[in-house]
């Protein structure tokens, strides 16, 4: 077998041929995933191993070397008593795959089964299966049916052992995959020449770099773009970018007037010119009924793929921590918090402690995004006896993100309205850099999940709990300081 092409390379090339080339020839230019993001991705991949429980008697091809795995696979295919094969290694016409699951069907046919985390069918899943279907058929296997196996979002954990057969939903996607095979195979034909190029294909970064996944070469490919390159501003819709690009407008300084331009872009343009924040004349009105007195609230959640607590479902958000800074009429502030133990379902204790802390007044509660509102709505469904009290808290929430987006832009936002960009930009000296162990929500999720799963020593758990408290408190302090900064800008 000469040079071969892997399914991973093909999927990368379907997004962007340059990505496939860089992954093969210059992988060091990829931006490494943060450990917490890698842990979340690994948890998703672990779903594939859990689905093995659906195929009793199946045999795993566990040789990492492809040639050895291919020999083992051929032996298993020929052994009629083997009901299914995990990680079958197949090659056809220079393309190699490792199929998640091949299920032996009557009449010498096979079922191709692919396990994906998540709960919905995506085009990238169908492309993935179309590549596999092409290789398997080319290698002489009759593929009678193709299924995508995903977690069933309606499965509710009853407690005790997880019911694996009910946790996973098996969707027949045979027709949808067959439809995609010709296009995928057609695009495959150009790939060997692309990968054999001396230099990477010159493809300009654009919104395609985030679809279906954020490309790991984004920082590398955009390293020479000027600071006012419009795509540095996140959340740019692809069609809007295409219009701007067609008009020759790729930098903020290319914008000649506010006509037909999203306000956020025009404000960013003005901030670039002035070197300081741009504030709308309506900011004071937007802040008028937000206190003080006022509370500042932030939640942390986990979303386990496999439900951990009775009564929960796959990927359902489980809030485990809240932080609340309170500023009274006199301007003094206090801090209140809750952090669950994690060994049991934390939702009731989370809700009851939050209600005890907030039910004595009608003061507004400032949050950043609609995340807290969504979590409270979900809690109300899960805890019907507390629903009306939780709803009373929910209607007091006011979203500071909406106000910042609509009224303020600072050059140091660098196109992002995340709290971790906005608060340090508007509050000199404020930041997150001094925090140990937990720096963002992904860190908090991963480390709390480790605590809940008893994966930490008691010393590490003590250290992580302190870090979780410090991180969540920093977020509500950020809201408080940001609110101060906005009020100062509004006068
Ligand atoms: S960042 Fe964009 S242009 Fe660069 S390799 Fe990735 S997808 Fe292609």
Best probe residue, ligand 1, of 30, 204, 205 (max atoms within 8 Å of C-beta): 205
Residue 490: pLDDT above 50? yes
Indicate which atom in ligand 1 lies nearest the CA of residue 203: 3
207-219 burial: b if 16+ Cβ within 10 Å, else e: eebbeeeebbbbe
Q: Residue 1 above 60 pLDDT?
A: no
Is the pLDDT score of 73 beyond 80? yes
Give me the mean pLDDT over the 128-157 stretch. 96
Residue 19 Cβ < 6 Å to ligand 1: yes
pLDDT at 329: 85
Question: Which protein residue's CA is at the shortest distance from atom 1 of ligand 1?
Answer: 218
pLDDT at 234: 66
| Ligand 1: nearest atom to the Cα of 22 | 5
Distance of alpha carbon 149 from the chain centroid: 20
Q: What is the per-residue pLDDT for 473? A: 97
157 CA distance to ligand 1 middle (Å): 41
Sorted by where each begins, the domain ranges of the chain are: 42-194, 284-490
How many percent of the chain have pLDDT more than 70?
Answer: 99
How far apart, in Å, are the Cα atoms of 341 and each of 148, 405, 461, 465? 36, 36, 10, 9
pLDDT band of 235, cuts 50, 70, 90: low
Q: What is the mean pLDDT of residues 52-74?
A: 96
Q: Which residue has the higher pLDDT, 312 or 259?
A: 312
C-beta separation of 228 from 251 below 8 A: yes
Ligand 1 mutation target, pool 29, 212, 214, 217, most atoms within 8 A of CB: 217
Could you tell me the pTM of the whole model?
Answer: 0.88
Q: Taking residues 448-474, report their average pLDDT.
A: 95
Does residue 415 register a pLDDT over 90?
no
Neighbours of 421 (CB within 10 A): 16
pLDDT of 357 reads: 97
In three state form, how does the secondary structure of the chain look?
A: CCCCEEHHHHHHHHHCHHHHHHHHHCHHHCCCCCHHHHHHHHHHHHHHHHHHHHCCCCEECCCCCHHHHHHHHHHHHHCCCCCEEEEEEEEECCEEEEEEEEEECHHHCEEEEEECCCCCCCHHHHHHHHHHHHHHHHCCCCEEEEEEEEECCCCCCCCCCCCHHHHEEEEECHHHHHHHHHHHHHHHCCHHHHHHCCCCCCCCCCHHHHCCCCCCCHHHHCCCCCCCEHHHCCCCCHHHHHHHHHCCCCEHHHCCCCCCCCHHHHHHHHHHHHCCCEECCCHHHHHCCCCCCEEEEEEEEECCCCCCCCCCCCCCCEEEEEEEEEECCCCCEEEEEEECCCCCCCHHHHHHHHHHHHCCCCCCEEECCCHHHHHHHHHHHHCHHHHHHHHHHHCCEEEHHHHHHHHEECHHHCCCCCHHHHHHHHCCCCCCCCCCCCCCHHHHHHHHHHHHCCCCCHHHHHHHHHHHHHHHHHHHHHHHHHHHHHHHHHC
pLDDT tens column, 297-309: 999 999 999 998 9
Of 215-219, 253-257, 429-433, the range with the lowest mean pLDDT is: 253-257
- Beta-bridged to residue 59, according to DSSP, are 85
Span from the CA of 18 to the centroid of ligand 1 (angstroms): 6
pLDDT above 80 for 3? no
Instruction: Please name which of 301, 235, 217 lies closest in space to residue 31, comparing C-alpha atoms.
Output: 217
Give per-residue pLDDT as tens, 350-390. Answer: 999 999 999 888 899 999 999 999 999 999 999 999 999 99
Q: Tens digit of pLDDT for each residue in 115-127?
A: 998 889 999 999 9
Which residue reads 């340059």 in tokens?
A: 18
For residue 41, what pLDDT is reported? 78
Is residue 181 lining ligand 1, measured as CB closer than 6 Å? no
Ligand 1 centroid – CA 58 distance (Å): 39
From the candidate CATH numbers 1.10.150.20, 3.20.20.10, 3.30.420.10, 3.50.50.60, the one assigned to the domain spanning 284-490? 3.30.420.10
* Predicted confidence (pLDDT) per residue in 308-324, tens digit: 899 999 999 999 999 99
Q: Over the stretch 173-202, which tens digit does the pLDDT of each residue have?
A: 999 999 999 999 998 889 999 999 999 999
Q: How far is the CA of 395 from the centre of ligand 1 (A)?
A: 43
Peptide bond into 337 cis (omega under 30): no
Is a pLDDT exceeding 70 seen at residue 2?
Answer: no
Q: Is 231 in the pocket of ligand 1 (CB under 6 A)?
A: no
Question: Tell me: the pLDDT tens digits for 101-116?
Answer: 999 999 999 999 999 9
């Amino acid at each position: 077998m000469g040079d071969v092409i892997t399914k991973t390379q093909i999927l990368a090339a379907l997004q962007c041929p340059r990505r496939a080339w860089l992954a093969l020839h210059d992988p060091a230019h990829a931006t490494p995933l943060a450990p917490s993001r890698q842990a979340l991705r690994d948890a998703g991949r672990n779903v594939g191993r859990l689905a093995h429980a659906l195929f009793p008697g199946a045999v795993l091809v566990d040789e990492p070397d492809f040639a050895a795995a291919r020999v083992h696979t051929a032996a298993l295919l020929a052994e009629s008593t083997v009901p299914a094969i995990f990680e079958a290694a197949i090659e056809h016409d220079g393309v190699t795959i490792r199929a998640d699951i091949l299920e032996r069907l009557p009449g010498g046919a096979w079922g191709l089964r692919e396990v994906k985390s998540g709960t919905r069918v995506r085009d990238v899943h169908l492309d993935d299966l179309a590549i596999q279907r092409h290789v398997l058929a080319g290698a002489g296997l009759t593929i009678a049916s193709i299924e995508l196996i995903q977690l069933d979002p309606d499965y509710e954990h009853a407690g005790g052992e997880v019911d694996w057969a009910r946790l996973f939903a098996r969707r027949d996607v045979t027709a949808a995959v067959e439809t995609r095979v010709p296009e995928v195979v057609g695009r495959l034909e150009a790939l060997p020449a692309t990968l054999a190029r001396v230099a990477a294909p010159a493809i300009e970064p654009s919104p395609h770099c985030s679809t279906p996944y954020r490309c790991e070469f984004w920082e590398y490919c955009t390293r020479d773009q000027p600071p006012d390159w419009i795509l540095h501003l996140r959340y740019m819709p692809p069609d809007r970018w295409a219009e701007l690009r067609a008009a020759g407008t790729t930098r903020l300084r290319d914008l000649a007037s506010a006509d037909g331009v999203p306000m956020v872009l025009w404000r960013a343009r003005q901030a670039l010119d002035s070197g300081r924040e741009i504030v709308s004349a309506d900011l004071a009105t937007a802040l008028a009924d937000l206190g003080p007195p006022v509370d500042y609230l932030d939640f942390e959640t986990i979303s386990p793929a496999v439900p951990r607590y009775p009564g929960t479902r796959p990927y359902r958000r489980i809030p485990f921590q809240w932080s609340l800074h309170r500023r009274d009429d006199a301007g003094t502030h206090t801090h209140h918090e809750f952090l669950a133990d994690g060994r049991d379902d934390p939702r009731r204790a989370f809700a009851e402690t939050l209600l005890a802390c907030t039910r004595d007044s009608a003061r507004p509660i400032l949050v950043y995004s609609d995340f807290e509102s969504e979590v409270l709505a979900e809690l109300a469904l899960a805890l019907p006896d507390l629903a009306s009290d939780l709803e009373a808290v929910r209607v007091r929430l006011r979203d500071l993100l909406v106000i910042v987006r609509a009224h303020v832009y600072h050059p140091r936002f660098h196109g992002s309205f995340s709290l971790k960009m906005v608060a340090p930009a508007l509050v000199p000296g404020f930041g997150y850099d001094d925090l140990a162990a937990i720096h963002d929500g992904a860190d908090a999720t991963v480390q709390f999940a480790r605590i809940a799963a008893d994966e930490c020593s008691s010393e590490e758990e003590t250290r992580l709990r302190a870090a979780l408290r410090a991180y969540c408190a920093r977020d509500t302090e950020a809201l408080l300081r940001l609110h101060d900064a906005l009020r100062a800008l509004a006068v």
